[in-house]
């Protein structure tokens, strides 16, 4: 519901990003209750419906769309692995949607509502502002719709989604409004995160210990036999193939579009190119007060706003420059700095009082004071545009690529089908030669390999490795078109002999042995240091290196130790002079002795206490709302208000590829 906030000017090209791929997708993604409950009984939803929540359905199509969006957010560049991850995302998407609909149903049950005014405020000033109101100016009706279409959304879907998000936030605020953080909690959290320590630490390195491990041939062979199960078929199956690529891009580059084709497409889609009646309007807005806690508006404030608007109107009628007056007086932040310009607006996109006046004024006309739910407006019409149909010449640059893409796709389909028929009857080499294409023959390849003309394609390799050796040629679809292929030979998976993987066995033997040795030596270092009350002496006896740290915070980093949030965090619980137990961290073993402990100052606390309080409050609110979601789901499932279709759920999570 874009309201009187449009502006003229060139289209701004902005990538929508994840916020439009999944409306409210972040609402409950971290709050999914465990399991599917016990609602698999009678009254199971029908085919194509994953679940029902009250009177609302969660459809398979909704889940697939949300799962694809989640996948694009997580892996924006795609890749071969993304298709295999879709079942996981589909399961998560289904649970998100069920929880989301449950929350919205509860919000409505509690009488919460999202108004058109709140929607407009969110679009203009919330997280969507940069997308639809860059610099405070609306991108335009047509661009608004196009950007939503590029995210696979209609205007009603998107605006309903934003209203749902507003409703969700109201419910969350209601549920978590009672959460408090005490001064004592703030103090404890502050001291925990702002106490500093300084310490000496002795290091044993895995690389140094590796030099001490010299396995015999007998030990390596015994290790190989003991772990032989892990080497079974570790040499993957390989296949030798021949294939021909039909490249859509090459076909499209050679495809032409005639004037008759342009005309035919235009005739079939004329309605897409109709431009509605529009007016190019400026306004000066004097806002009225918002309702108070009792829901009533202060009449004195309304009257003051009216008088101010009437005074501005007098200045306009006295010959004042409308643009300058708008910059000086208008309280619409989105248009005031532009001299009140809202650009061209169409019908159905502004509040009724504003629209009626704007479309009734002549070009160059100025209105009297007009009241709406926003306040008092004075309108000036810069230009008017009657409803009309764009000509073919105006839109042919938009149409031609669409026709070209459609024609080239049909040509590629036809060429692939023809080439496959010829390959099966006359052989792939002759069929390729007849089409002027060059067949490619590979050496033995495995599934992850990249192929000439194709690259890495899980989809193609899936087809290749499911084909029988020397079977008739077959067809596989690629991102760039099609491939006609045949499998010439197969090398089945094999288990390597000890001699074939001796270096791997030796490496794995040493890694297993050194991990145990590092743990043992670090424990011995700690025990000796504590017994002798001297870390440096114990370190010298065991060949460990001793270093010292600077004063460091719990979130700090120390060379050779890494993050102090790991095992080294024990330093913040120790007193000066205390020696730690063994701290094994991947490639190093460490023992430390605290030299100095520095508590934060009262001045530090005063400077950071508000930040700490906010962080604690958010954490407690998240915990409370997570519990609320879990309990709500549980209650609705037990009462039968949530019913899940196990067959549709299983189909979603079994599917290996979507879209």
C-alpha 183/C-alpha 195 separation (Å) is: 18
User: In the structure encoding, which two tokens stand for residue 414, read together?
Assistant: 């036809």
Place of tokens 């000086």: 328
Question: Alpha helices, DSSP H only, in 254-378?
Answer: 259-268, 299-317, 322-329, 352-360
Residue 2's pLDDT band (cuts 50, 70, 90): very low
249 by DSSP, 3-state: which? helix
Report percent pLDDT > 90 for the chain: 61
- Rounded mean pLDDT of 159-178? 91
pLDDT of residue 45 exceeding 90, the answer is no
Give the pLDDT score at 312.
Answer: 95
Taking Cα atoms as reference points, which of 347, 362, 348, 366 lies closest to residue 282? 366
**pLDDT for 324:** 95
List, in sequence order, every residue forming a beta bridge with 345; answer none if it has no partner: 279
What beta strand segments (E) does 340-449 contain?
A: 341-346, 370-371, 375-385, 388-389, 440-441
Secondary structure element (H or E) that encloses residue 116, with its range: helix 116-125
| H or E element at residue 179 | none
Q: Which of 208, 111, 231, 100 is nearest to 160 (CA)?
A: 100
- Note the pLDDT of residue 79: 57
b/e per residue, 15-29, with b = 16+ CB within 10 A? eeeebbbbbbbebbb
- Give me the mean pLDDT over the 467-492 stretch: 94
Which of 61, 68, 62, 63 is CA-nearest to residue 86? 68
Read off the pLDDT of residues 169-181 as tens digits, 9 standing for 90 and up: 999 999 998 999 9
Residue 37 reports pLDDT greater than 50:
no
More confident residue, 521 or 646: 521
Residues 412-429, mean pLDDT to the nearest whole number: 94
pLDDT at 146: 79
75-118 pLDDT, tens digit per residue, is 776 655 566 777 888 888 999 999 999 999 999 899 999 888 88
- Answer whether residue 8 shows pLDDT above 90: no
**Strand ranges for 536-656 from DSSP E:** 545-548, 557-558, 562-563, 583-585, 588-598, 642-644
Chain-centre distance of CA 12, in angstroms?
23
Provide the Cα torsion 144, 146, 147, 148; round to 10°.
90
The average pLDDT across 417-446 equals 94
Q: What number of residues does the chain have?
A: 659
Distances (CA, A) of 393 to 400, 460, 601: 11, 42, 73
- Model confidence at 33, pLDDT cuts 50, 70, 90, reads very low
pLDDT in tens, 217-237: 999 999 999 998 899 998 999
Which of 21-35, 207-221, 401-415, 573-587 is least confident?
A: 21-35
Question: In whole numbers, what is the pLDDT of the chain averaged over residues?
Answer: 87
Q: Regarding predicted confidence, which is higher, 156 or 658?
A: 156
Strand segments (E) across 300-441: 341-346, 370-371, 375-385, 388-389, 440-441
What confidence score (pLDDT) does residue 484 get? 96
pLDDT score, position 221: 95
Q: DSSP characters for 289-300?
A: PPP-TTS---HH
């Amino acid at each position: 519901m874009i309201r009187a906030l449009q502006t003229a000017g060139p289209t701004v090209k902005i990538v929508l990003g994840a916020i439009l791929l999944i409306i409210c997708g972040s609402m409950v993604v971290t709050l999914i209750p465990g399991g599917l409950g016990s609602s698999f009984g009678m009254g199971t939803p029908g085919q194509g419906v994953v679940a029902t929540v009250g009177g609302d359905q969660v459809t398979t199509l909704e889940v697939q769309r949300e799962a694809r969006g989640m996948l694009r957010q997580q892996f924006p560049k795609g890749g071969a692995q993304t298709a295999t991850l879709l079942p996981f995302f589909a399961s998560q998407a289904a649970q998100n949607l069920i929880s989301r609909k449950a929350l919205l149903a509860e919000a409505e049950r509690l009488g919460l509502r999202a108004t058109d005014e709140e929607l407009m405020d969110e679009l203009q000033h919330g997280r969507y502002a940069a997308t639809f109101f860059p610099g405070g100016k609306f991108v335009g009706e047509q661009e608004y719709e196009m950007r939503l279409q590029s995210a696979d959304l209609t205007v009603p879907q998107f605006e309903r989604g934003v209203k749902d998000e507003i409703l969700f936030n109201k419910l969350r605020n209601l549920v978590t409004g009672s959460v408090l953080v005490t001064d004592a909690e703030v103090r404890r959290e502050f001291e925990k995160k702002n106490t500093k320590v300084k310490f000496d630490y002795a290091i044993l390195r895995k690389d140094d210990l590796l030099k001490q491990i010299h396995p015999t041939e007998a030990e390596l062979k015994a290790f190989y036999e003991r772990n032989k199960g892990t080497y079974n078929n570790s040499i993957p199956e390989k296949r030798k193939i021949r294939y021909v690529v039909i490249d859509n891009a090459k076909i499209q580059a050679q495809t032409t579009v005639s004037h008759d084709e342009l005309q035919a497409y235009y005739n079939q889609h004329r309605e897409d190119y109709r431009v509605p009646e529009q007016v190019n309007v400026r306004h000066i807005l004097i806002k009225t007060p918002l309702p108070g806690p009792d829901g009533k508006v202060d009449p004195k404030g309304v009257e003051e706003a009216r008088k101010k608007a009437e005074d501005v109107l007098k200045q306009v009628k006295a010959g004042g420059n409308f643009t300058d007056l708008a910059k000086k007086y208008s309280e619409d932040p989105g248009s005031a700095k532009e001299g009140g310009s809202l650009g061209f607006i169409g019908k159905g996109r502004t509040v009724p009082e504003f629209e009626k006046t704007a479309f009734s004024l002549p070009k160059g006309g100025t209105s009297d004071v007009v009241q709406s739910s926003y306040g008092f407006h004075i309108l000036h019409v810069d230009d008017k545009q009657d409803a009309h149909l764009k000509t073919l010449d105006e839109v042919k640059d938009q149409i031609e690529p669409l026709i070209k893409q459609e024609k080239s796709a049909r040509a590629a389909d036809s060429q692939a089908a023809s080439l496959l028929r010829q390959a099966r009857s006359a052989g792939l080499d002759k069929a390729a030669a007849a089409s002027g294409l060059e067949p490619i023959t590979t050496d033995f390849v495995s599934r992850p390999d990249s192929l000439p003309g194709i690259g890495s394609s899980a989809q193609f390799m899936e087809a290749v490795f499911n084909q029988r050796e020397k079977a008739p040629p077959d067809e596989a679809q690629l991102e760039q078109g099609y491939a006609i292929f045949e499998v010439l030979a197969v090398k089945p998976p094999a288990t390597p002999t000890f001699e074939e993987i001796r270096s791997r066995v030796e490496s794995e033997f040493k890694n297993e042995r050194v991990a145990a040795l590092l743990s043992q030596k670090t424990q011995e270092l700690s025990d000796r240091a504590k017994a002798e009350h001297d870390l440096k002496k114990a370190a010298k006896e065991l060949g460990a290196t001793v270093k010292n740290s600077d004063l460091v915070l719990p979130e700090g980093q120390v060379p050779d130790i890494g993050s102090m949030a790991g095992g080294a965090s024990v330093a913040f619980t120790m007193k000066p002079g205390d020696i730690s137990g063994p701290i094994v961290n991947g490639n190093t073993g460490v023992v430390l002795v605290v030299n100095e402990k520095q508590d934060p100052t009262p001045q530090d606390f005063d400077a950071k206490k508000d930040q700490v309080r906010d962080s604690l409050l958010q954490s407690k609110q998240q915990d409370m709302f997570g519990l609320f979601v879990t309990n709500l789901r549980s209650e609705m499932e037990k009462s039968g208000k949530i019913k899940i279709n196990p067959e549709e759920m299983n189909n979603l999570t079994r599917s290996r590829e979507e879209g």
